[in-house]
Amino acid sequence: MKNTLFTGAATAIVTPMTREGVDYAQFARLIEWQIAEGIDAIVAVGTTGEGPTLTDEEHCEAIRFCVQQVAGRVPVIAGTGSNDVAYAIHLTQCACEAGADGVLLVTPYYNKATQNGLVQSFAAVADASTKPCILYNVPSRTGCNLQPKTVAELAQHPRITAIKEASGDISQVAKIAALCGDKLDIYSGNDDQIVPIMSLGGKGVISVLSNLMPRETSRMCHLYEQGDVKTAMEMQLKLLPLIDALFCEVNPIPVKAAMAAMGFGENYVRLPLTPMEPAHEAELLRLMKENGVI
């Protein structure tokens, strides 16, 4: 059995920005609030953190800053995946040197890969890492699905310890759980499937929702873990409309609008992303008010 990086909710944290660059003052405020609210871990500069449009220097500096600000209070996991394996190795080494507790590796996008190519690519990055690696399967964004048998093969690698499963396919998650057992931790990559994936042995979630509701998202996971399945299920169902609103446009457009409404930086995203459509934003803010977020 491999060591578990975290149990509960990890926030796939936004990267506050202005037109001039990363807003580190707001980033620090957000990190401090997340920890004060009881979040279990932080995932920096992933998809939600706009890693794809950060410069190389910004990407590595944002990881270093997050690690230093957190100062060991919760695990920090750095998004370091790429469709260029050499670049993924570079970012992974930056994260390891910065003191991140683990790295999150997305499947190659655009150029994609065969299943054999995925095995070789992830193994190459894991070989270069000194920290635990979490696979990230999100075929709706990458056009590339990490199949259960491939996951099971990768789980044999000593530094590949978990998977963030965002395929939306519960049957696929069940197959991964059946094939991997305690060789691989499973985290939900979809906020609307936290409880279903935990019912298959998942350890929790890498969450967008927890940017604005860290305490509640963590509580949902820990209630399930403690055996209060009914309350966890009720929380999951109650939050579905808000979760849907957070994904009515491509992530992280809605969550950036949500965090700006909460006072954590500007409602600014880098192209090709654009600010949220007014009608969608109005509905998101209405649901945030309904749930006591603002």
Active site residue 224: no
E-strand spans in 89-213?
Answer: 102-106, 133-137, 160-165, 185-188, 204-207
Distance of CA 69 to the CA centre of its chain: 19
Q: How many H helices and E strands in the chain? A: 13, 10
Q: Choosing from 2, 87, 109, 136, which is the catalytic residue?
A: 136
Q: Choosing from 24, 109, 112, 164, which is the catalytic residue?
A: 164
Pairing verdict, β 17-18 and 21-22: antiparallel
- Tell me phi and psi for residue 277, to 5 degrees: -65, 140
The helix or strand, by DSSP H or E, that contains position 17, with its residue range, turns out to be strand 17-18
Active site residue 238: no
Contact 86, 80 (CB under 8 A): no
Instruction: Report how far apart, in Å, the C-alpha atoms of 158 and of each of 10, 26, 72, 118 are.
Output: 22, 37, 23, 17
Report the alpha-carbon distance of residue 287 to residue 170 in Å, rounded. Answer: 27
Report the alpha-carbon distance of residue 266 to residue 58 in Å, rounded. Answer: 18
Q: Which of the residues are catalytic?
A: 136, 164
